[in-house]
Every structure is written in C-alpha cells, then in structure tokens.
Amino acid sequence: MTRKIGIIGDGHVGATVANYIVVNGLVDDLVMIDKNEAKVNADAIDFREGMPNLPFHTNITVNDYDALKDADIVISALGKIKLSNNDSDNRFAELSFNIDQVKEVAPKIRDSGFNGILIAITNPVDVITQLYQQITGLPKKHVIGTGTLLDSARMKQAVGEKLGIDSRSVTGYNLGEHGNSQFTAWSTVRALDQPITELAKSRNLDLDALDQAARYGGFTVMQGKGYTSYGIASAAVRLAKTVLSDARTVLPVSNYRSDYGVYFSYPVVVGRDGIIEDVPLGLTDEEKNKLQASADFIKKNIEKYGEK
C-alpha cells in the first residue's frame, strides 16, 4: 500500500504544495496535472533532480487523470491569481473563470474512479468546494475546502505577536467565508491560558485591529509579491496530512453546513474519512449573526458572479 496525492494546478500554490510534499516525503506517489505542460514537466524534472539530496523518494506522474483512481487525496490548486489581485481583495473575482476550470476538471476526476478525499484551495474556496462536490458526486464529508484554516493562522500570528508569544500558543477560530465576510470568533480564542476577551482588558488589546490583521493579511502579501503561496500551501498540506494519518484533528475548514445550505468554515473533526464529527461552539448572539451574514454573503455572490 502506498500514500498517493494528486495536485490539479501547478501555479504558485500548487507548486509550493508539491514542494512541501516532496521535500518532506509525505507520499510515495505524486500526480501533478496542469494545462501548461512545459511548466508541470519542468517542475517534475526539477523535483526528481532534487531527490538525490533528499532523504525521501517520491514517484511523480504528470498529466494523467487515470492515475488519480487510487489516490488518497486530490488537491485543487487551479485558478487565475491575477483576478484576485484587486483593490478590494475580492476572492469572488476569480469565480467566473474558476467555475469553467472546475467544470472541465471535476468530470475527469470523477471519471478516473477517484473515491478519496478532495481538498479545494481554489478561490472563492467555499463556492468552488461545493461545486466540486456537486459535479464529482463524492460524499459531502469527502469534499473539503481549506477555508479559514489560513485565516485562523493569521489571527493566531497577529495575537501571538501582540502578546509576545508563539502563535501556536494561541487557540481559536476565524469562521465563515474565506473572504471579506469572515470574522474572528473571539469567544473561542484563548492565549496564556486565558480567554482573549479577558486579556484584552488587562493588556489593552484592540480586538478589532487584530481581526482586521487576520482578515486582510492575504491582501498585504498579495500587494507585496502578486500572489500568496507559503501560508495557504502550509494549510493545505496540514489538512492533507491530517487525512492521511487519520489524525482526527479539530480544524476550521470549509465543510457543508446543512442548516445553512452552503459550504463555509466551521470547526470539525477531520480524519481519513474526511469530516468525522461536528464541533459545536458556544458562540455569542453577535457571532451567530455574523455567521449567518457570511453564509448569506456567499449565496448572494454565487448569484452575482456565478451562473443563474
């Protein structure tokens, strides 16, 4: 038995995900797929040439959808990042383009016989994750978006930096859309073994400013280099490792919320069978209203940017 992952899309993010996987020896077999055959073949050669100096070997297959049949995980990293590099940091700007891309690749994934876990990075990730599920016909619990796993990390980094502690010592979640309508659920955040709401009083923390740092961190990176890569790739690889090892870890990922009829981020237990269990949160009334508003925002923009 082998561990096998397929990556659809070999742009900045897809290539970074592939690099993490190869350098860390996470799988035995890696399938890389991209329309730009010269680029994806060049990356495959580059990885193979690096292997003599690595402690791991990875078999690499290029542009073969049939090879996805026995994959444990397929990661969608396709997209057109230039569309998201806009003044309003609007991830829905990619939707029209990416809908067409997903409609092209999702049937190929389905027809390959793939029956593993599909992880979507492609923006706007909540809508795209739902579209992948509908086209592939995979169980909803087997189609997951990276969602606010990255945004929650940005929040932890901002809080940790403000408190002078490692970001991994901060716990809590950003919820809702991976986009402008997301929010930090401060009722879930703890640091220094205290609720952040109490620390805010004793340390004079501006929670609104910290929420903005998490919300627009990606925009800062985008403005600086024209794309994001390391942070989102780390989130995707963490999610993939959680699935591969059946770690049953609580993660704020984009999953189908039947009570809202849409995909968005809310913490769930993730393992080899995808979404294992829901994690109820004791949100405040204000946070519940924000969550509803985020769900409504996703639906509204599906109608605005997507097919009617």
Say which amino acid occupies 36: N
Q: What is the mean pLDDT of residues 24-30?
A: 98
Give the three-class secondary structure for 113: coil
Enter the pTM of the model: 0.95
d(CA 89, CA 223): 10
Residue of 142, 156, 178, 257 marked catalytic: 178
Q: pLDDT category, 80, cuts 50, 70, 90?
A: confident
| Nearest CA among 218, 165, 14 for reference residue 101 | 14
Neighbouring C-alpha atoms within 13 Å toward the C-beta of 130: 19
What residues form DSSP beta bridges with 274? Answer: 271
d(CA 84, CA 12): 14
**Helices 230-244/149-163 angle, 10° precision:** 110
- Determine if residue 122 is labeled as part of a ligand binding site: yes
pLDDT in tens, 169-219: 999 999 999 988 999 999 999 999 999 999 999 999 999 999 998 888 788
- Residue 178 among the catalytic residues: yes
What residues form DSSP beta bridges with 271? Answer: 274
- Determine if residue 24 is labeled as part of a ligand binding site: no
Q: What is the mean pLDDT of residues 273-284?
A: 97
Angle at 38 between CA 37 and CA 40, to 5 degrees: 65
Q: Which residues contact 33 (CB under 8 A, 6 or more apart)?
A: 6, 7, 8, 9, 10, 40, 62, 63, 64, 65, 105
Q: pLDDT category, 73, cuts 50, 70, 90?
A: very high
- Determine if residue 27 is labeled as part of a ligand binding site: no
- Determine if residue 6 is labeled as part of a ligand binding site: no
pLDDT in tens, 45-65: 999 999 999 999 999 999 999
- Determine if residue 98 is labeled as part of a ligand binding site: yes
> What percent helix, strand, coil does the chain show, rounded to 5?
50, 20, 30
